[in-house]
Amino acid sequence: MTASNSQRPICIFCEIIAERLPASIAYRDQDWLVLMDIHPITEAHALIIPTRHCAHLSDIDAAGRQALFDLAAATMAAQESAGFSIGGANLLLNDGIAANQHIPHLHLHCIPRKNGDLLAFARRMVLRTVGIFGFRVSLGRLDRIAEKLAPLIKVRAI
């Protein structure tokens, strides 16, 4: 089905999954993708998305939730191993338009943190929350981060 005869508007994440749009991918399996956020709140800010289009956490079942949060734990561990987080990380799910979900395809934010980054973090978080995303980071730079994370995302080992 092409976009022109689909009832659903084009979904950026579905386009990335179908490799019709570029993205920096740190992990991929049949059901899930970890990609680098193109407007990162902090360096190595990652998004976990299902390969099957759905909008909300309530659209996936218990097995899906387990896979999602196992992958989140593995991604957080990888971010820490690679030195992108020191002393903390935020997991954030904006679920629904009222909750500032700007792309209607389920995505879980894994945001590495370092001591002393609070002001920059808060400023970028507020701007994103109100829909101001700022400058994109180049795909080349995000690719290098994804390449660092990829061998460290060990879902089975967690």
45, 53, 56, 107: which one is catalytic? Answer: 107
- Whole-angstrom Cα distance, residue 75 to residue 90? 12
Q: Which stretch binds its own copies (CB under 8 A): 8-16, 26-34, 116-124, 143-151?
A: 116-124
Q: Which of 97, 87, 100, 82 is nearest to 46 (CA)?
A: 82
Q: Does 154 bind its own copies (CB under 8 A)?
A: no
Residue 21 in contact with residue 69, Cβ under 8 Å? no
Q: Does 101 bind its own copies (CB under 8 A)?
A: yes
Q: How far is the CB of 118 from its own copies (least distance, A)?
A: 7
Among the listed residues 89, 146, 149, 153, the single contact to its own copies using CB under 8 A: 89
Q: Which residue has the tokens 């084009």?
A: 10
Amino acid at 1: M
Residue 56 annotated in active site? no
Cβ-proximal residues to 104 (8 Å cutoff; 6+ apart), any chain: 11, 55, 97
Q: Which stretch binds its own copies (CB under 8 A): 4-12, 13-21, 95-103, 135-143?
A: 95-103
The 108-112 sheet, strands edge to edge: 25-28, 32-36, 46-50, 108-112
Q: Which of residues 40-69 bind its own copies (CB under 8 A)?
A: 57-58, 62, 65-66, 68-69
- Whole-angstrom Cα distance, residue 19 to residue 51? 11
Q: Does 152 bind its own copies (CB under 8 A)?
A: no
Report the interface residues with its own copies, using CB under 8 A: 57-58, 62, 65-66, 68-70, 73, 76-77, 85-101, 111, 113-115, 117-118, 121-122, 125-126, 129-130, 158
- Which are the catalytic amino acids? 107
